[in-house]
Structure 1
Amino acid sequence: MSSTRKTTHGSGEDFLPWIVPGAAFLIGTLFFGAWLGGTIGAAASGAGWDPPPFSLSTLATLIKEGPATVWPTAPATAVTTGMAVVFGTVVTLVVVLIALGRRRVTRPTGLAGRRELAGLLPKGAAQRARQLRPSLAKSGKITPDDTGNLLGNLEPGGPELRSSYEDVELDLMAPRAGKSTGIAVPRVLRARGSVLLTSNKADVYSVTRAERERVGRVWTFDPQGIAHSPRTLWWDMLADAATIEGARRLAGHFVGAVNDDASKRDFWISAAQNTLTALFHAAHRGKRQIPEVLAWLADPADRTPVDLLRDAGMAALADQLQGTVQGAVETRDGIYETARQCVACLLDPNIAAWVTPDPDLPQFLPEHHVLSTDTLYLLSKDGGGSAAGVIAAAADSVLRAGVVAAERMGGRLDPPMAAVLDEAANVCRISDLPDLYSHFGSRGINVVTLLQSYRQGARVWGEAGMDALWSAATIKLLGAGLDDADFVEKISRLVGEHDVSTVSWSKNKEGRSRSTSYRLERILPADRIRALPKGTALLLATGIKPALVRLRPWYAEPGADRIATAAQAEVKAITARAAEGITLG
């Protein structure tokens, strides 16, 4: 008769035969340390190198009579000090070895290590940077921030990892999991070229504004008073409607701001976009402004936009708009009412003023911004009445200007532009962002899209669009608090499996036998991915095994005291402006 017991750690009985040899080894090691330390101490005191016999009799004498009998010609203090030094050195080595061992245990077996991540390590990042940036090709030593975007440190306790300037990134983390402190703020602070940031809060703005002013001009586009910043610029939104394609994109940003799923547009949404396309293009051709567009929407019978399109030679577009106006009253009114809802934010004069020419203020020009080291903050509230359509239009205008500038420079912007789309699903719904994502990377435009969950992105771009965005992102960081069970399970499968050994013991009449078998087990089960600690993230890089990284928050970096002081001053200024009720228009 036999019985079998399985364990992945072995049986306690398995260690019984090793107790005696282990105790002998421990005693021998302690005796050797005392013997060596005492001899070294005696020699250092001037008694000369005269080691006693390394024997059991010496050990017995040392235990019974003390070190003075073993080293009679040396001071007891010197002998004791020598022993202390040797034992201290041994303890230090043991602690270091234990620490290294714990680090190895902390990183689950099967995740990427230094060898797999060689291209993201400092040396590999520097080599890629020289290939991608002509300005660095002949440089001697280049700074780390010139080599790529800091992702964090390889866990546990590893070197820093950096993505290249042709990578585009998608980060999914729950609120207060480190998106702002560990990703958005560091990317803005470390950017070498121009910066574009979208957000619905003033936290990143308040931390980074003063530092960015040290390297270039700061443009703050704050139509809804997120940072209570007074209007110090204007942007010609209708300039993007110079072509029908540009006008359609502009209309799409306002439609997307009120439509939760870009892949599910009904008749009214599509017709409203067509109508807004015609009106925006007519306004540009006729050198009209936003108030005129709103007036045309309020009065569908107004023939002015039709006449402007005909005068510009856009007969087909004029006929289409006229057909909408002359159609069934119920259909026409439904289309125009939907269009009015899409651009409702422009009814607020404080918002419309930011996109209306003002001779007393400087004009923001996207084509100039992308070639500078300036910073553009695009701030908007989310929810009803937000300026998300305007923010998305401005962000899209800058990104497309960056593509044009890159093509004129031979393919890539140098230095690259950093585009941090924080709260992209709320305030920056660029409908075809998933399709453009990989194209941005090839143009030296480092786009980082920050979302709270995969499902949040699917709500805006649809399942197919979010899948396309996920596939196009060459760098993905998955942080703490991902509670979507289906998504986390998919990630667990993507991370993969590894072999786990199982030891089996059998008892029978002939004695005991041991065997080892192997089974496949998830490297990171779904529950462990969900429970990732704050400040850590799972890194999925194209062509590389997954890895664990620890984010590097801005407040733990050199210079954080100066930045924190400036941030506190900025917060006080925002509070003061809010209390004073500064008019934003």
Structure 2
Amino acid sequence: MSSLGGRPRGSDMVFWAIALVVLANAVLFTMAWLGGTFGAMITGHGWHPPKWSLLSYWRLIRGETDTLWPGSSPFGVYFGMALFGVVLTTLIVLAGMKILGLRKRNEGLAKARDLRALAPAGIAKRARELRPSLAGMKDLAPDETGNLLGDLEPHGPELRSSFEDVELDLMAPRAGKSTGIAIPRVLRARGAVLLTSNKSDVYAVTRVEREQIGRVWTFDPQGIAHAPREMWWDMLADCATIEGARRLAGHFVASVNDDTTKKDFWISAAQNTLTALFLAASRGQASVSDLLGWLADPADRTPVDLLRDAQLHAMAEQLQGTVRGAVETRDGIYETARQCVACLLDPEILAWVTQDPYLPQFRPDQHVLGRDTLYLLSKDGGGSAAGVIAGLADSTMRAGVMAAERMGGRLDPPMTAVLDEAANVCRISDLPDLYSHLGSRGINVVTLLQSYKQGSRVWGEAGMDAMWGAATIKLLGAGLDDADFVEKVSKLIGQHDVSTISVSRSKDGSSRSTSYRQENVLPPDRIRAMPKGTALLLATGIRPAMIKLRPWFKEPDAARISAQAKQEVAAITERASAKLTVGTPPRPRMPAVPPGTPTHW
């Protein structure tokens, strides 16, 4: 006897069986109702569906198609039903397979509920806490709340990082670094922008748009975009202190040293000598050309005298000790120092860091307070201006830190620093250490590298590990072929339980059991084979997630920006052609040799 208010178990089964039969008949009748109407229409009798009722259902079962679709061919009606049923069934199966495939592919990764802090509502709340200027604003534009990362696969939502996050992105060439990260960040930035690159693609797409927001400064000493020189930067301005001079010397040393963590005697001594010379030139109001002259002639006592005049006696004695040392040692140190600043021997590069009364001076301390854009373009390899580029980038970010301290601790609006090709053209030796506090100052740094090993070659294993640990947002894109690194990432993502159903049969019947085993959420081969345009998101305190990047050319205003980019590319091509037309002076022709003159001596 059942308990009070209860119902026998068998009655539940009968109820659900009846409900299932009714639902199945309703679905089948709806498919036949629509399919028959479609068949009658394609046979020329128009779209005239019969009344959806039990009577129509009964007539359909009895085969009275002439009553339901008067004048239509029974063959056409049944053909429409069959065709409609096949198409609908195929669509349902494909949709089911797609949903199951997506669930299986993203099983173990973060879902939308895990990423609430990066979703629109969470990131808007965080932006109001970080930016006092947003107080009182009811509706915030999405770009005012954070930096766009992409859309959570497969169906969103849109994810953004906060203005105190610092980012490290690892992607192979042509995997979407420029189109999906660098260009969108520059276009969407609300404050000052700093961009380093060894190509002109980001510059061509973003320059016109940024020019409508603020002033555009283009530092292009090697003609990447063939931009005319319309500015100059006082390279020695920050060298008035020993710290500033040593930092600038370190940038030049890093530009020729493959691993800044490994410095032999000559590299270390060259950096000390450059530090003293930079300090003497800054305190003595000398030019970069004067500094190059001191390097060419170690016996020149001018830098020693300038250091003594500035009451920097210890530095003066150290420099004088280097000059008075053994000739072989002194020449080795000075030659190494000359190699570090060899790019300044190029008059085209030297002009950008030499005072010019006819051109405006770029002031990093003023740049970080506005909405201007600074493009730092340089080639990589021999003869590059990487040391100058790294010095200017570092000076600008340090100016941002000092401005943030004056503003109460954080820049508002925040500054965006996109260090594209950082391992080639922007080797800031202590960049891993800067990562630990730049975000808290309202300076959003995005470092783009081709691989983890590329960063390790520049900053060493310890430095790259420090940068990896300090980056609160990490994006891993397509084409990561470093087996050891991919294996570590796979372990970092973790494992999940996978169920296996086994059935055993015997003469007494069959039994079914379920067992569980641990598998990697993303095996190394799947990480390596990630398609272009997608990235693995590793955010501090959140489970890893798979996102889809948002390339600039798929955004609503892509047509207008694309037209501007085409005009900019045409202008770059025209400037390049003009330089080729001017060309270099022809080699002098040798005088004609009189007949009979011997040609071999």
Q: Does 1:419 align with 2:417?
A: yes
Following superposition of structure 1 onto structure 2, how do residues 522-537 of structure 1 map, counting pairs within 5 Å?
522-537=520-535
Instruction: Report the TM-score when normalising by structure 1.
Output: 0.88
Separation in 1, partners of 2:236, 2:339: 19
Give, in angstroms, the shift of residue 240 of structure 1.
Answer: 1.2
Q: Deviations over 1:486-512 (max 9, x none)?
A: 000000001110000011122333232
Separation in 1, partners of 2:93, 2:158: 24
Cα gap change, 1:545 to 1:64, in 2 (>3 Å): same
Q: Which amino acid aligns with 1:443?
A: R
2:305 aligned to 300, 304, 307, which one?
A: 307
Give, in angstroms, the shift of residue 67 of structure 1.
Answer: 3.8
Separation in 2, partners of 1:35, 1:579: 69
1:505 aligned to 490, 503, 506, which one?
A: 503
The equivalent of 1:441 in structure 2 is 439
Separation in 2, partners of 1:371, 1:272: 35
Separation in 1, partners of 2:343, 2:99: 59
Q: Deviations over 1:261-318 (max 9, x none)?
A: 1111011101100000000000011100111111111111111000000001000100
2:462 aligned to 451, 461, 464, which one?
A: 464
The equivalent of 2:587 in structure 1 is none
The equivalent of 2:128 in structure 1 is 130
Q: Deviations over 1:560-583 (max 9, x none)?
A: 111111111111111111111189
Q: How many residues align?
A: 551
Q: Deviations over 1:375-401 (max 9, x none)?
A: 000000000110000000000000000
* 1:38 and 1:67 in contact (8 A); partners too: no
The equivalent of 1:183 in structure 2 is 181
Separation in 2, partners of 1:402, 1:552: 28
Q: Secondary structure at the match of 1:233?
A: coil
Cα gap change, 1:371 to 1:29, in 2 (>3 Å): same
Separation in 2, partners of 1:497, 1:466: 25
Q: Which amino acid aligns with 2:54?
A: P
2:152 aligned to 154, 162, 165, which one?
A: 154
Q: Which amino acid aligns with 1:466?
A: M
* 2:553 and 2:562 in contact (8 A); partners too: yes
Give, in angstroms, the shift of residue 158 of structure 1.
Answer: 1.4
Q: Which amino acid aligns with 1:347?
A: L
The equivalent of 2:3 in structure 1 is none
Following superposition of structure 1 onto structure 2, how do residues 306-455 of structure 1 map, counting pairs within 5 Å?
306-455=304-453
Cα gap change, 1:92 to 1:117, in 2 (>3 Å): farther
The equivalent of 1:28 in structure 2 is 25
Q: Secondary structure at the match of 2:514?
A: strand
Following superposition of structure 1 onto structure 2, how do residues 76-225 of structure 1 map, counting pairs within 5 Å?
94=92, 98=96, 101-102=99-100, 104-105=102-103, 107-225=105-223
Cα gap change, 1:34 to 1:179, in 2 (>3 Å): closer
Return 5+ residue gaps in structure 1 as ranges: 1-20
Q: Which amino acid aligns with 1:162?
A: R
Q: Secondary structure at the match of 1:581?
A: helix
Q: Does 1:52 align with 2:55?
A: yes
The equivalent of 1:545 in structure 2 is 543
Instruction: Report the TM-score when normalising by structure 2.
Output: 0.86
Give, in angstroms, the shift of residue 31 of structure 1.
Answer: 3.8
Separation in 1, partners of 2:567, 2:149: 28
Q: Secondary structure at the match of 2:488?
A: helix
Q: Deviations over 1:217-257 (max 9, x none)?
A: 10000000001111110000000101000000000000000
Q: Which amino acid aligns with 2:30?
A: G
Separation in 2, partners of 1:469, 1:549: 22
Separation in 2, partners of 1:299, 1:46: 99
Percent identity over paired residues: 69
The equivalent of 1:483 in structure 2 is 481
Cα gap change, 1:50 to 1:503, in 2 (>3 Å): closer
94-103 vs 266-275, greater mean Cα deviation? 94-103
Separation in 1, partners of 2:35, 2:205: 58
Following superposition of structure 1 onto structure 2, how do residues 65-80 of structure 1 map, counting pairs within 5 Å?
65-69=63-67
| Cα RMSD, aligned residues only | 3.0
Cα gap change, 1:128 to 1:83, in 2 (>3 Å): farther
Separation in 1, partners of 2:245, 2:311: 16
* 1:478 and 1:537 in contact (8 A); partners too: yes
Cα gap change, 1:64 to 1:141, in 2 (>3 Å): same
Q: Which amino acid aligns with 2:545?
A: A
Q: Secondary structure at the match of 1:253?
A: helix
* 1:197 and 1:378 in contact (8 A); partners too: yes
Q: Which has the higher contact order (CA 8 A, sep 6+)?
A: 1
* 1:39 and 1:51 in contact (8 A); partners too: no
Give, in angstroms, the shift of residue 101 of structure 1.
Answer: 2.1
